[in-house]
Amino acid sequence: MVSFEFIEDRLARIRASSARLKKLQNLTRDQFLANPDNYAIAEHHLRRSLESMFDIGRHIIAKKGLGKPEKYSHITELLGQNNIISSEFSKQIKGMAGYRNRLVHEYAHITAEDIYEIINTRLEDFEQFSKYIVEFLDNEQT
Which residues form the catalytic set?
100, 105
Closest CA to 96 of 70, 120, 123, 116: 123
- Cβ atoms 48, 54 nearer than 8 A: no
Residue 114, classified by CB atoms within 10 Å of its CB into exposed (0-12), middle (13-18) or buried (19+), is: middle
